[in-house]
Amino acid sequence: MSGSIKLIDVAPTMARVLGVKTPPTDGRAIDLVEGWECDRVVLAIVDSLGYGLYKALELDLPNMRSMASEGVLLKAECVAATTAPAIASILTGLMPKKHGISNTSQASDSEIRSLLEWASSDMIRSAVVMEEEGARTFNGFVTTVMGVSKSLVGRNFDREILERSLEALKTEPRLLVAHFLGIDRIAHDGGGIEEIRGAASEIDGHLGDLAAAAAERTMVAVCGDHPLHAGVLKGVYDSRDVALIFWKKENGRRAASL
């Protein structure tokens, strides 16, 4: 695949893995995972996981580090500076000017369908776990929809995302999308690198638990939606790219040697 990798490439890549038909997209499937022969996909969106931040915290993130070592770590160009349009691009493969979604309420009204809905149209069981307002946009289109209240404080939100994701995996979806918010919340609250390190480390543990619960031949994709865009560390580590990791579960391996 020539040219830089962008977040709009995630949806067509996941669709190719699942054998899902797609409408035209701005992104292209990433060839580096061609031939992995995966049956399922877990897509974990880690809010504010910029590439520079990931590299700065890498030693404290054993699960992501192991996934990157055994699989593929990519620097992916973000296409929007805020969460709603960035996630819309991740899930639709469209640039923001094409999908036109700048906030969650617009996502509810949009007629543009996403990877989750493409999968459902092809009779592929799918599940989404995210903040409840965003989750509601998938009601009626996706097999399993689980929303988590934004009122949960601190790291309790991400712990609930994990618990509901593990619950969703028991329904044996071929596609699960989960959204972790801890790093972004700490940044917006003015936290420094040690607070962000703690949130990232906890999310890393959640990703290890998800990997352990996933079926064999599952592709686990971990990606940021945008670099840090608030707080004292805004622009310090990266202002353009996010971390994108692809890893295949096989032979009963966990994501890291814990």
Ordered strands of the 144-148 beta sheet: 72-77, 241-248, 218-224, 40-46, 175-180, 126-131, 144-148
53 part of a folded domain: yes
Q: Determine whether 252 is exposed, middle or buried from the number of CB atoms within 10 Å of its CB (0-12, 13-18, 19+).
A: exposed
- Say which residue, 132 or 238, is predicted with more confidence: 132
Three-state SS at 42:
strand
171 part of a folded domain: yes
pLDDT digits (tens, 9 = 90+) for 223-235: 999 999 998 888 8
Does 254 score more than 70 pLDDT? no
Does 256 score more than 90 pLDDT? no
257 part of a folded domain: no
2 part of a folded domain: no
- Say which residue, 256 or 147, is predicted with more confidence: 147
256 part of a folded domain: no
The helix (H) or strand (E) run that includes residue 205 is helix 193-213
Give the Cα separation of 59 and 41 in Å (integer): 26
Residue 11 near residue 25 (C-beta atoms within 8 A): yes
DSSP result, 139-199: TTTSSEEEEE-TT--TTHHHHHHHHHHHHHHTT--SEEEEEE-HHHHHHHTT--HHHHHHH
Does 117 score more than 60 pLDDT? yes
258 part of a folded domain: no
1 part of a folded domain: no
125 part of a folded domain: yes
Q: Which pLDDT value is given to residue 153? A: 80
- Host domain of residue 227: 7-248
What are the counts of helices (DSSP H) followed by strands (DSSP E) for the chain? 11, 7
CB atoms within 10 A of CB 172: 10
Confidence of residue 3 (pLDDT cuts 50, 70, 90): low
- Say which residue, 98 or 107, is predicted with more confidence: 98
pLDDT digits (tens, 9 = 90+) for 13-61: 999 999 999 999 999 999 999 899 999 999 999 999 999 999 999 999 9
Q: How many domains does the chain have?
A: 1
CATH classification of the domain holding 48? 3.40.720.10
Q: Which pLDDT value is given to residue 110? A: 77
Which pTM value belongs to this model? 0.94
